[in-house]
Amino acid sequence: MTFRLGLTGSIGMGKSTTAQMFTDLGCALWDADAAVHRAYAPGGPAIAPIGAMVPEALRGDRLDRDVLRNAIRSDAELLSRIEAVVHPIVRADREQFLRDTKADIAVLDIPLLFETGAEAEMDAVAVVSVAPDIQKARVLERGTMSEDDFNLILSRQMRDAEKRKRADFVIETDTLEHARQQVETIVTTIRDGLADA
């Protein structure tokens, strides 16, 4: 049996780095963002239905992300309609991964885990977390988004305090070493539980 560990956390919390720490310990990793990229890849399953919603974004077998982003900004309802298309595609991708994996622990990296209700499908949930000032500095240091973009993303995500409350495990990502120690403890705890089952 594969133990399903949901991994989540708001933007800039260190989730991708933490996910790699789990794979270093032999866990299988499924990444929701990568599944979304597959859905949006040229010819991917999201192209035609989203292209039908936003025809001006359709460029042959791909979508122009800038046009799509602008359309979302100007239509408050568009994002939820797009999510209604993309979420089932991503869920099917995750289910296929779980059918195929042979690992004892599957880490399912899902940024909107609580927001989409996916925690109900997990055996446990780990939340990555760090102080708000560090989070903001990390995101803005990337140079890929403005402070307004960052605040918009945060407004669509559940508050960190609420995620921490709902989690089985909280991983503080203040330093790499501290995060790694916590990941090792979580993996050991889960494997000990599987051995006793």
Q: HEC profile for 106-166?
A: EEEECCCCCCCCHHHHCCEEEEEECCHHHHHHHHHHCCCCCHHHHHHHHHHCCCHHHHHHH
Do 76 and 140 lie in a common domain? Answer: no
Confidence bin at 185 (pLDDT 50/70/90): very high
CATH of the domain at 113: 3.40.50.300
In whole angstroms, give the CA distance from residue 78 to residue 98.
30
Do 116 and 189 lie in a common domain? Answer: yes
In whole angstroms, give the CA distance from residue 139 to residue 43.
31
Do 79 and 19 lie in a common domain? Answer: no
pLDDT of residue 74: 92
List, in sequence order, every residue forming a beta bridge with 58; answer none if it has no partner. Answer: 63
Q: Is the pLDDT of residue 186 over 90?
A: yes
The mean-pLDDT minimum among 31-45, 100-114, 150-164 falls in 150-164
Pairing of strands 169-172, 124-129: parallel
Structure tokens at 35: 């599944």
pLDDT of residue 82: 94
- Residue 126 lies in domain: 1-27+105-197
Do 84 and 111 lie in a common domain? Answer: no
pLDDT of residue 196: 82
Domain's final residue, options 50, 80, 102: 102
pLDDT of residue 115: 87
Do 119 and 196 lie in a common domain? Answer: yes
Do 17 and 48 lie in a common domain? Answer: no
Per the structure, how many domains does the chain have? 2
pLDDT in tens, 187-197: 999 999 998 86
Do 17 and 47 lie in a common domain? Answer: no
pLDDT of residue 143: 84
The mean-pLDDT minimum among 31-35, 96-100, 154-158, 185-189 falls in 154-158
In whole angstroms, give the CA distance from residue 139 to residue 13.
9
pLDDT in tens, 56-70: 999 989 999 899 999
Do 69 and 144 lie in a common domain? Answer: no
Do 40 and 94 lie in a common domain? Answer: yes
The mean-pLDDT minimum among 8-17, 120-129, 174-183 falls in 8-17
Do 141 and 193 lie in a common domain? Answer: yes
Phi–psi pair at 13, nearest 5 degrees:
-85, -10
Structure tokens at 151: 């605040």
